[in-house]
Structure 1
Amino acid sequence: MTQVTVKWYNPKKGFGFVRPDEGLPDAFLHVSAVEARGLDRLPEGTLLDCTLIEGPKGWEVQSIDAVMEVPEPAHAADPTAISDACPGVVKFFNAYKGFGFVTRDSDQADVFVHVRTLEQCGLCDLVEGQIVSMAVSEGPKGLQADQIAVVAEPERASGPLLRWRAAYAVEDADTDAEHRELVTLANALHDRWAANANRDELARLFDRLLASAVCHLDREDARRGFGPGEPLSASRWNWMKDMADFRQRSLATPRPPRFTEDMAEFLRAWVTAHILAEVGGQPHVVEVAAAQG
Protein backbone atom coordinates (compact mmCIF):
# COMPACT_ATOMS: atom_id res chain seq x y z
CA MET A 1 0.00 0.00 0.00
CA THR A 2 1.04 3.58 -0.66
CA GLN A 3 -0.03 6.64 1.31
CA VAL A 4 -1.32 9.42 -0.91
CA THR A 5 -2.83 12.88 -0.54
CA VAL A 6 -5.87 13.88 -2.57
CA LYS A 7 -4.92 16.80 -4.86
CA TRP A 8 -8.48 17.17 -6.12
CA TYR A 9 -11.49 15.00 -6.84
CA ASN A 10 -14.61 16.09 -8.74
CA PRO A 11 -17.54 13.67 -8.24
CA LYS A 12 -19.43 15.24 -11.15
CA LYS A 13 -16.58 14.56 -13.55
CA GLY A 14 -15.97 11.17 -11.96
CA PHE A 15 -12.22 11.43 -11.49
CA GLY A 16 -9.37 13.28 -9.80
CA PHE A 17 -5.69 12.94 -8.89
CA VAL A 18 -3.68 11.98 -5.82
CA ARG A 19 -0.07 12.74 -4.87
CA PRO A 20 1.89 9.71 -3.56
CA ASP A 21 4.20 10.28 -0.58
CA GLU A 22 6.90 8.00 -2.05
CA GLY A 23 7.98 10.39 -4.79
CA LEU A 24 5.99 8.72 -7.56
CA PRO A 25 4.20 10.87 -10.16
CA ASP A 26 0.61 11.93 -9.51
CA ALA A 27 -1.83 9.03 -9.87
CA PHE A 28 -5.22 9.09 -11.59
CA LEU A 29 -8.22 8.40 -9.33
CA HIS A 30 -11.43 7.10 -10.95
CA VAL A 31 -14.88 7.28 -9.39
CA SER A 32 -15.13 3.46 -9.43
CA ALA A 33 -12.34 3.21 -6.82
CA VAL A 34 -14.03 5.88 -4.68
CA GLU A 35 -17.47 4.24 -4.79
CA ALA A 36 -15.98 0.78 -4.16
CA ARG A 37 -14.84 2.13 -0.79
CA GLY A 38 -18.35 3.44 -0.05
CA LEU A 39 -17.35 7.09 -0.48
CA ASP A 40 -18.97 9.85 -2.49
CA ARG A 41 -16.67 12.82 -1.89
CA LEU A 42 -12.96 13.24 -1.17
CA PRO A 43 -11.96 16.72 0.01
CA GLU A 44 -8.61 18.13 -1.08
CA GLY A 45 -5.91 17.11 1.41
CA THR A 46 -7.51 13.80 2.45
CA LEU A 47 -4.87 11.16 3.32
CA LEU A 48 -5.47 7.67 1.90
CA ASP A 49 -3.77 4.29 1.86
CA CYS A 50 -4.07 3.04 -1.71
CA THR A 51 -2.92 0.29 -4.01
CA LEU A 52 -1.36 1.90 -7.10
CA ILE A 53 -0.72 0.31 -10.47
CA GLU A 54 1.08 1.61 -13.54
CA GLY A 55 -1.33 1.61 -16.47
CA PRO A 56 -0.83 2.45 -20.15
CA LYS A 57 -1.29 6.19 -19.43
CA GLY A 58 0.58 6.36 -16.12
CA TRP A 59 -0.02 5.61 -12.47
CA GLU A 60 -3.57 5.08 -11.25
CA VAL A 61 -5.37 4.09 -8.06
CA GLN A 62 -6.44 0.46 -8.21
CA SER A 63 -8.14 0.53 -4.81
CA ILE A 64 -8.57 2.73 -1.74
CA ASP A 65 -7.59 0.52 1.19
CA ALA A 66 -8.05 2.97 4.08
CA VAL A 67 -8.98 6.58 4.81
CA MET A 68 -6.29 7.87 7.17
CA GLU A 69 -7.23 11.51 7.71
CA VAL A 70 -9.88 13.93 6.46
CA PRO A 71 -9.45 17.72 6.69
CA GLU A 72 -11.92 19.60 8.86
CA PRO A 73 -14.84 20.80 6.70
CA ALA A 74 -14.75 24.51 6.02
CA HIS A 75 -17.57 26.69 7.34
CA ALA A 76 -19.30 29.19 5.11
CA ALA A 77 -17.49 32.52 5.18
CA ASP A 78 -19.04 35.41 7.12
CA PRO A 79 -19.65 38.28 4.64
CA THR A 80 -18.79 40.83 7.34
CA ALA A 81 -15.40 39.18 7.99
CA ILE A 82 -14.04 39.62 4.44
CA SER A 83 -11.46 42.42 4.26
CA ASP A 84 -11.97 45.05 1.53
CA ALA A 85 -15.11 43.23 0.46
CA CYS A 86 -17.00 44.29 -2.63
CA PRO A 87 -20.53 43.19 -3.58
CA GLY A 88 -21.48 41.44 -6.78
CA VAL A 89 -24.04 39.22 -8.48
CA VAL A 90 -23.34 35.69 -9.74
CA LYS A 91 -23.31 35.71 -13.54
CA PHE A 92 -22.95 31.94 -13.86
CA PHE A 93 -21.15 29.02 -12.24
CA ASN A 94 -20.51 25.64 -13.87
CA ALA A 95 -19.96 23.01 -11.17
CA TYR A 96 -18.83 20.44 -13.75
CA LYS A 97 -16.09 22.69 -15.15
CA GLY A 98 -15.29 24.04 -11.70
CA PHE A 99 -15.47 27.78 -12.29
CA GLY A 100 -17.74 30.73 -12.96
CA PHE A 101 -17.97 34.52 -12.91
CA VAL A 102 -19.44 37.20 -10.66
CA THR A 103 -20.32 40.68 -11.95
CA ARG A 104 -18.85 43.28 -9.59
CA ASP A 105 -21.35 46.01 -8.66
CA SER A 106 -18.92 48.94 -8.71
CA ASP A 107 -17.86 48.69 -12.36
CA GLN A 108 -19.72 45.67 -13.83
CA ALA A 109 -16.40 43.87 -14.29
CA ASP A 110 -16.40 40.06 -14.46
CA VAL A 111 -14.57 38.38 -11.57
CA PHE A 112 -13.37 34.78 -12.00
CA VAL A 113 -14.35 32.31 -9.25
CA HIS A 114 -12.72 28.87 -8.99
CA VAL A 115 -14.37 25.92 -7.26
CA ARG A 116 -11.40 25.60 -4.87
CA THR A 117 -12.06 29.12 -3.62
CA LEU A 118 -15.66 28.09 -2.92
CA GLU A 119 -14.53 24.99 -1.02
CA GLN A 120 -12.08 27.02 1.07
CA CYS A 121 -14.96 29.36 1.96
CA GLY A 122 -17.31 26.50 2.91
CA LEU A 123 -19.45 26.63 -0.24
CA CYS A 124 -20.27 23.90 -2.76
CA ASP A 125 -21.69 25.90 -5.63
CA LEU A 126 -23.06 29.26 -6.76
CA VAL A 127 -26.31 29.94 -8.58
CA GLU A 128 -27.08 32.68 -11.07
CA GLY A 129 -28.52 35.80 -9.44
CA GLN A 130 -27.10 35.25 -5.95
CA ILE A 131 -25.79 38.38 -4.24
CA VAL A 132 -22.28 37.79 -2.90
CA SER A 133 -19.54 39.60 -1.02
CA MET A 134 -15.98 38.91 -2.14
CA ALA A 135 -12.34 39.87 -1.81
CA VAL A 136 -10.90 40.49 -5.28
CA SER A 137 -7.32 40.55 -6.55
CA GLU A 138 -5.60 40.81 -9.92
CA GLY A 139 -4.65 37.31 -11.07
CA PRO A 140 -2.55 36.12 -14.04
CA LYS A 141 -5.58 36.27 -16.35
CA GLY A 142 -7.59 39.08 -14.77
CA LEU A 143 -9.73 39.70 -11.72
CA GLN A 144 -10.24 36.73 -9.39
CA ALA A 145 -12.11 36.12 -6.14
CA ASP A 146 -9.87 35.15 -3.22
CA GLN A 147 -12.73 34.94 -0.70
CA ILE A 148 -16.47 34.82 -1.27
CA ALA A 149 -19.65 34.59 0.79
CA VAL A 150 -23.31 34.45 -0.21
CA VAL A 151 -25.26 37.46 1.09
CA ALA A 152 -28.70 36.77 -0.41
CA GLU A 153 -30.46 34.32 -2.70
CA PRO A 154 -32.11 35.57 -5.92
CA GLU A 155 -35.70 36.72 -5.55
CA ARG A 156 -38.37 34.24 -6.57
CA ALA A 157 -41.17 35.37 -8.84
CA SER A 158 -43.69 32.86 -7.54
CA GLY A 159 -44.66 31.39 -4.21
CA PRO A 160 -42.35 28.86 -2.55
CA LEU A 161 -42.71 25.14 -2.87
CA LEU A 162 -41.78 24.80 0.81
CA ARG A 163 -41.88 27.13 3.78
CA TRP A 164 -39.58 26.63 6.74
CA ARG A 165 -41.55 25.56 9.80
CA ALA A 166 -40.56 25.69 13.45
CA ALA A 167 -41.13 21.93 13.59
CA TYR A 168 -38.16 21.45 11.23
CA ALA A 169 -35.61 22.86 13.69
CA VAL A 170 -33.21 20.46 15.41
CA GLU A 171 -31.74 23.27 17.56
CA ASP A 172 -28.28 22.90 16.03
CA ALA A 173 -27.27 26.10 14.24
CA ASP A 174 -25.16 24.43 11.52
CA THR A 175 -27.69 21.69 10.77
CA ASP A 176 -30.64 24.10 10.69
CA ALA A 177 -28.76 26.46 8.35
CA GLU A 178 -27.97 23.59 5.96
CA HIS A 179 -31.57 22.34 6.07
CA ARG A 180 -32.79 25.86 5.29
CA GLU A 181 -30.45 25.91 2.29
CA LEU A 182 -31.98 22.66 0.98
CA VAL A 183 -35.44 24.25 1.26
CA THR A 184 -34.23 27.39 -0.53
CA LEU A 185 -32.66 25.41 -3.38
CA ALA A 186 -35.76 23.23 -3.83
CA ASN A 187 -37.85 26.41 -4.01
CA ALA A 188 -35.53 27.89 -6.64
CA LEU A 189 -35.70 24.74 -8.80
CA HIS A 190 -39.49 24.62 -8.47
CA ASP A 191 -39.98 28.30 -9.36
CA ARG A 192 -37.67 28.36 -12.37
CA TRP A 193 -39.05 25.09 -13.74
CA ALA A 194 -42.63 26.35 -13.31
CA ALA A 195 -41.55 29.49 -15.21
CA ASN A 196 -40.34 27.33 -18.14
CA ALA A 197 -36.61 27.85 -17.61
CA ASN A 198 -34.35 26.29 -20.22
CA ARG A 199 -32.63 22.94 -19.84
CA ASP A 200 -29.18 24.35 -18.99
CA GLU A 201 -30.55 26.49 -16.17
CA LEU A 202 -32.54 23.57 -14.73
CA ALA A 203 -29.45 21.34 -14.92
CA ARG A 204 -27.47 23.92 -12.92
CA LEU A 205 -30.23 24.14 -10.29
CA PHE A 206 -30.45 20.34 -10.02
CA ASP A 207 -26.67 20.12 -9.64
CA ARG A 208 -26.61 22.83 -6.98
CA LEU A 209 -29.30 21.03 -4.98
CA LEU A 210 -27.42 17.72 -5.22
CA ALA A 211 -24.06 19.31 -4.38
CA SER A 212 -25.56 21.07 -1.35
CA ALA A 213 -27.10 17.80 -0.14
CA VAL A 214 -23.77 15.96 -0.48
CA CYS A 215 -21.93 18.73 1.41
CA HIS A 216 -24.61 18.65 4.11
CA LEU A 217 -24.28 14.88 4.60
CA ASP A 218 -20.47 15.20 4.77
CA ARG A 219 -20.70 17.93 7.40
CA GLU A 220 -23.39 16.02 9.26
CA ASP A 221 -21.10 12.99 9.39
CA ALA A 222 -18.21 15.16 10.62
CA ARG A 223 -20.34 16.61 13.41
CA ARG A 224 -21.23 13.07 14.48
CA GLY A 225 -17.60 11.98 14.38
CA PHE A 226 -17.97 9.60 11.45
CA GLY A 227 -15.29 9.15 8.81
CA PRO A 228 -16.13 9.48 5.09
CA GLY A 229 -18.72 6.93 4.03
CA GLU A 230 -18.98 5.14 7.39
CA PRO A 231 -22.69 5.69 8.11
CA LEU A 232 -23.75 5.54 4.44
CA SER A 233 -26.83 3.39 5.00
CA ALA A 234 -29.01 2.10 2.18
CA SER A 235 -31.69 4.69 2.86
CA ARG A 236 -29.22 7.60 2.67
CA TRP A 237 -27.83 6.23 -0.58
CA ASN A 238 -31.35 5.80 -1.97
CA TRP A 239 -32.23 9.37 -0.94
CA MET A 240 -29.42 10.76 -3.10
CA LYS A 241 -30.03 8.26 -5.90
CA ASP A 242 -33.72 9.20 -6.06
CA MET A 243 -32.83 12.82 -6.83
CA ALA A 244 -30.10 11.84 -9.31
CA ASP A 245 -32.59 9.57 -11.13
CA PHE A 246 -35.26 12.31 -11.05
CA ARG A 247 -32.76 14.72 -12.60
CA GLN A 248 -31.79 12.26 -15.32
CA ARG A 249 -35.41 11.54 -16.28
CA SER A 250 -36.37 15.21 -16.24
CA LEU A 251 -33.47 16.29 -18.47
CA ALA A 252 -33.46 13.27 -20.79
CA THR A 253 -34.77 15.38 -23.69
CA PRO A 254 -33.58 18.76 -25.03
CA ARG A 255 -36.83 20.33 -23.83
CA PRO A 256 -37.69 19.48 -20.18
CA PRO A 257 -41.24 18.20 -19.56
CA ARG A 258 -43.95 20.52 -18.29
CA PHE A 259 -43.70 20.91 -14.54
CA THR A 260 -46.54 19.09 -12.78
CA GLU A 261 -47.86 18.79 -9.24
CA ASP A 262 -46.47 15.23 -9.11
CA MET A 263 -42.99 16.69 -9.65
CA ALA A 264 -43.62 19.34 -7.00
CA GLU A 265 -44.72 16.66 -4.56
CA PHE A 266 -41.53 14.68 -5.22
CA LEU A 267 -39.39 17.73 -4.43
CA ARG A 268 -41.35 18.42 -1.23
CA ALA A 269 -41.13 14.79 -0.12
CA TRP A 270 -37.43 14.51 -0.96
CA VAL A 271 -36.43 17.52 1.14
CA THR A 272 -38.76 16.99 4.09
CA ALA A 273 -37.96 13.26 4.33
CA HIS A 274 -34.42 14.06 5.40
CA ILE A 275 -35.30 17.03 7.60
CA LEU A 276 -38.09 15.24 9.47
CA ALA A 277 -35.89 12.18 9.98
CA GLU A 278 -33.29 14.45 11.61
CA VAL A 279 -35.92 16.13 13.79
CA GLY A 280 -37.05 12.71 14.94
CA GLY A 281 -33.51 11.81 15.92
CA GLN A 282 -33.18 9.04 13.36
CA PRO A 283 -29.64 8.06 12.29
CA HIS A 284 -30.59 8.04 8.60
CA VAL A 285 -33.20 9.38 6.23
CA VAL A 286 -36.39 7.62 5.20
CA GLU A 287 -36.69 6.42 1.64
CA VAL A 288 -38.62 8.49 -0.89
CA ALA A 289 -40.50 6.97 -3.81
CA ALA A 290 -39.50 8.64 -7.09
CA ALA A 291 -42.21 10.64 -8.84
CA GLN A 292 -43.27 9.66 -12.32
CA GLY A 293 -42.09 12.40 -14.71
Structure 2
Amino acid sequence: MSEEQKQQVTAVVKWYKADKGFGFVRFADGSGEAFLHSRVLASLGEVSLTEGTGLVCDIAETPKGPQVVAIHSITPADPAEAKPARAPKQRRQRQPEGGDPQAVRPAAPAAIREPKPRRERSAPALMPVPTGEMIYGTVRWYNLDSQSGLIDPWDDETGIGVYFDRAILRQSGLEVVADGEDVRFVAVPGDGGPTALRVELV
Protein backbone atom coordinates (compact mmCIF):
# COMPACT_ATOMS: atom_id res chain seq x y z
CA MET A 1 0.00 0.00 0.00
CA SER A 2 1.25 3.46 -0.81
CA GLU A 3 1.18 6.41 1.55
CA GLU A 4 -1.80 7.84 -0.38
CA GLN A 5 -5.39 6.81 0.22
CA LYS A 6 -6.70 4.07 -2.06
CA GLN A 7 -10.30 4.31 -3.24
CA GLN A 8 -12.84 1.75 -4.42
CA VAL A 9 -10.85 -1.21 -3.05
CA THR A 10 -12.61 -4.60 -3.20
CA ALA A 11 -12.25 -6.61 0.02
CA VAL A 12 -13.96 -9.30 2.11
CA VAL A 13 -14.49 -9.41 5.88
CA LYS A 14 -11.94 -11.68 7.55
CA TRP A 15 -13.65 -11.34 10.93
CA TYR A 16 -15.65 -8.68 12.76
CA LYS A 17 -16.71 -8.62 16.42
CA ALA A 18 -19.68 -6.30 16.95
CA ASP A 19 -19.27 -6.41 20.75
CA LYS A 20 -15.68 -5.16 20.42
CA GLY A 21 -16.49 -2.72 17.65
CA PHE A 22 -13.83 -3.68 15.13
CA GLY A 23 -12.35 -6.39 12.93
CA PHE A 24 -10.28 -6.96 9.80
CA VAL A 25 -10.90 -7.12 6.05
CA ARG A 26 -8.79 -8.98 3.48
CA PHE A 27 -8.09 -7.39 0.08
CA ALA A 28 -9.60 -9.37 -2.80
CA ASP A 29 -6.33 -9.30 -4.74
CA GLY A 30 -4.50 -10.97 -1.82
CA SER A 31 -2.17 -8.01 -1.24
CA GLY A 32 -2.89 -7.69 2.48
CA GLU A 33 -5.38 -6.76 5.19
CA ALA A 34 -6.81 -3.62 6.79
CA PHE A 35 -8.29 -2.70 10.17
CA LEU A 36 -12.04 -1.92 10.27
CA HIS A 37 -13.53 0.16 13.12
CA SER A 38 -17.26 0.39 13.90
CA ARG A 39 -17.26 4.18 13.45
CA VAL A 40 -16.89 3.62 9.69
CA LEU A 41 -20.22 1.74 9.74
CA ALA A 42 -22.12 4.50 11.57
CA SER A 43 -23.21 6.26 8.37
CA LEU A 44 -24.58 2.99 6.92
CA GLY A 45 -27.22 2.42 9.59
CA GLU A 46 -27.96 -1.07 10.91
CA VAL A 47 -25.57 -3.47 9.15
CA SER A 48 -24.34 -6.92 10.12
CA LEU A 49 -20.87 -8.03 9.01
CA THR A 50 -20.00 -11.71 8.93
CA GLU A 51 -17.00 -13.60 7.61
CA GLY A 52 -16.97 -13.45 3.80
CA THR A 53 -19.07 -10.27 3.49
CA GLY A 54 -17.91 -8.34 0.41
CA LEU A 55 -17.02 -4.65 0.62
CA VAL A 56 -16.08 -1.84 -1.73
CA CYS A 57 -14.20 0.63 0.44
CA ASP A 58 -11.50 3.28 0.75
CA ILE A 59 -8.23 2.39 2.49
CA ALA A 60 -5.78 4.80 4.12
CA GLU A 61 -2.29 4.13 5.47
CA THR A 62 -1.94 5.12 9.16
CA PRO A 63 0.90 4.82 11.70
CA LYS A 64 -0.82 1.62 12.94
CA GLY A 65 -1.21 0.13 9.44
CA PRO A 66 -3.87 0.12 6.68
CA GLN A 67 -7.38 1.05 7.85
CA VAL A 68 -10.81 1.21 6.22
CA VAL A 69 -11.92 4.87 6.19
CA ALA A 70 -15.12 4.62 4.08
CA ILE A 71 -17.45 1.90 2.78
CA HIS A 72 -19.31 2.36 -0.51
CA SER A 73 -21.18 -0.94 -0.82
CA ILE A 74 -21.75 -4.20 1.06
CA THR A 75 -22.41 -7.63 -0.48
CA PRO A 76 -23.72 -10.29 1.97
CA ALA A 77 -21.64 -13.45 2.31
CA ASP A 78 -22.80 -16.59 0.51
CA PRO A 79 -24.61 -19.02 2.84
CA ALA A 80 -22.47 -21.98 3.83
CA GLU A 81 -23.43 -25.24 2.12
CA ALA A 82 -24.54 -27.98 4.50
CA LYS A 83 -22.32 -31.05 4.39
CA PRO A 84 -24.11 -34.32 3.58
CA ALA A 85 -24.48 -36.68 6.50
CA ARG A 86 -22.07 -39.62 6.39
CA ALA A 87 -23.69 -43.04 6.61
CA PRO A 88 -22.38 -45.17 9.49
CA LYS A 89 -20.03 -47.94 8.46
CA GLN A 90 -21.32 -51.49 8.81
CA ARG A 91 -19.04 -53.95 10.51
CA ARG A 92 -18.33 -56.98 8.34
CA GLN A 93 -18.45 -60.38 10.02
CA ARG A 94 -15.82 -62.86 8.97
CA GLN A 95 -17.18 -66.28 8.13
CA PRO A 96 -15.27 -69.41 9.13
CA GLU A 97 -13.49 -71.26 6.37
CA GLY A 98 -15.63 -74.20 5.26
CA GLY A 99 -18.44 -75.83 7.23
CA ASP A 100 -21.55 -74.11 8.49
CA PRO A 101 -21.42 -70.35 7.83
CA GLN A 102 -23.50 -69.89 11.00
CA ALA A 103 -20.92 -71.65 13.15
CA VAL A 104 -19.01 -69.47 15.57
CA ARG A 105 -15.26 -69.81 15.53
CA PRO A 106 -13.58 -70.07 18.90
CA ALA A 107 -11.84 -66.89 19.93
CA ALA A 108 -8.09 -66.97 19.58
CA PRO A 109 -6.11 -66.38 22.77
CA ALA A 110 -5.32 -62.73 23.17
CA ALA A 111 -1.68 -61.94 22.52
CA ILE A 112 0.20 -60.44 25.39
CA ARG A 113 1.37 -57.01 24.42
CA GLU A 114 3.89 -54.97 26.26
CA PRO A 115 2.50 -51.60 27.29
CA LYS A 116 3.61 -48.79 25.04
CA PRO A 117 5.52 -45.95 26.64
CA ARG A 118 3.25 -43.07 27.43
CA ARG A 119 3.72 -40.22 25.03
CA GLU A 120 3.64 -36.77 26.52
CA ARG A 121 1.12 -34.56 24.81
CA SER A 122 2.37 -31.11 24.12
CA ALA A 123 -0.11 -28.23 24.12
CA PRO A 124 -1.10 -27.17 20.60
CA ALA A 125 0.73 -24.01 19.62
CA LEU A 126 -0.85 -20.89 18.21
CA MET A 127 -0.77 -20.58 14.45
CA PRO A 128 2.67 -19.21 13.45
CA VAL A 129 2.57 -15.44 13.19
CA PRO A 130 4.73 -13.57 10.65
CA THR A 131 7.00 -10.97 12.19
CA GLY A 132 5.17 -7.68 12.66
CA GLU A 133 1.61 -9.01 12.22
CA MET A 134 -0.47 -8.01 15.22
CA ILE A 135 -3.14 -10.24 16.78
CA TYR A 136 -5.93 -8.86 18.96
CA GLY A 137 -6.86 -10.42 22.29
CA THR A 138 -7.94 -9.86 25.90
CA VAL A 139 -5.80 -10.28 29.02
CA ARG A 140 -7.14 -13.34 30.85
CA TRP A 141 -5.08 -12.58 33.96
CA TYR A 142 -1.88 -10.91 35.09
CA ASN A 143 -0.24 -11.94 38.38
CA LEU A 144 1.80 -9.23 40.07
CA ASP A 145 3.60 -11.80 42.26
CA SER A 146 4.83 -13.98 39.40
CA GLN A 147 4.92 -10.97 37.04
CA SER A 148 3.44 -13.04 34.25
CA GLY A 149 0.06 -13.58 32.61
CA LEU A 150 -2.01 -15.00 29.74
CA ILE A 151 -3.78 -13.42 26.77
CA ASP A 152 -6.83 -14.95 25.04
CA PRO A 153 -6.66 -14.27 21.26
CA TRP A 154 -10.04 -13.30 19.84
CA ASP A 155 -9.76 -15.60 16.81
CA ASP A 156 -8.44 -18.66 18.67
CA GLU A 157 -10.74 -21.29 20.22
CA THR A 158 -8.15 -23.66 21.73
CA GLY A 159 -8.33 -21.91 25.11
CA ILE A 160 -4.58 -22.26 25.63
CA GLY A 161 -3.75 -18.59 25.95
CA VAL A 162 -0.58 -16.71 25.02
CA TYR A 163 2.06 -16.33 27.76
CA PHE A 164 3.77 -13.04 28.54
CA ASP A 165 5.82 -11.64 31.43
CA ARG A 166 6.91 -8.29 32.80
CA ALA A 167 10.06 -8.27 30.66
CA ILE A 168 7.89 -8.38 27.52
CA LEU A 169 5.71 -5.57 28.89
CA ARG A 170 8.73 -3.38 29.61
CA GLN A 171 10.15 -4.01 26.13
CA SER A 172 6.75 -2.88 24.80
CA GLY A 173 6.81 0.31 26.92
CA LEU A 174 4.28 -0.95 29.52
CA GLU A 175 4.63 -1.50 33.27
CA VAL A 176 1.44 -3.46 33.97
CA VAL A 177 -1.82 -4.58 32.31
CA ALA A 178 -5.18 -5.29 33.96
CA ASP A 179 -7.35 -8.40 33.74
CA GLY A 180 -9.90 -8.05 30.93
CA GLU A 181 -7.92 -5.34 29.13
CA ASP A 182 -7.90 -5.51 25.32
CA VAL A 183 -4.45 -5.67 23.72
CA ARG A 184 -2.77 -6.50 20.45
CA PHE A 185 0.41 -8.52 20.25
CA VAL A 186 2.93 -10.48 18.20
CA ALA A 187 3.43 -14.12 19.26
CA VAL A 188 5.55 -17.12 18.31
CA PRO A 189 4.92 -20.83 19.03
CA GLY A 190 7.01 -22.53 21.70
CA ASP A 191 7.43 -25.90 23.42
CA GLY A 192 5.11 -24.90 26.26
CA GLY A 193 2.67 -22.96 24.06
CA PRO A 194 2.67 -19.60 22.26
CA THR A 195 4.62 -16.69 23.79
CA ALA A 196 4.10 -12.99 23.15
CA LEU A 197 7.08 -10.99 21.85
CA ARG A 198 5.39 -7.60 21.99
CA VAL A 199 2.21 -6.36 23.70
CA GLU A 200 0.39 -3.09 23.07
CA LEU A 201 -2.82 -1.64 24.52
CA VAL A 202 -5.69 -1.21 22.05
Place the TM-score, normalised by the shorter chain, in its bin.
0.3 to 0.5
Which protein has the bigger helix share?
A: 1
TM superposition score normalised by structure 1: 0.26
Which protein has the bigger strand share?
A: 2
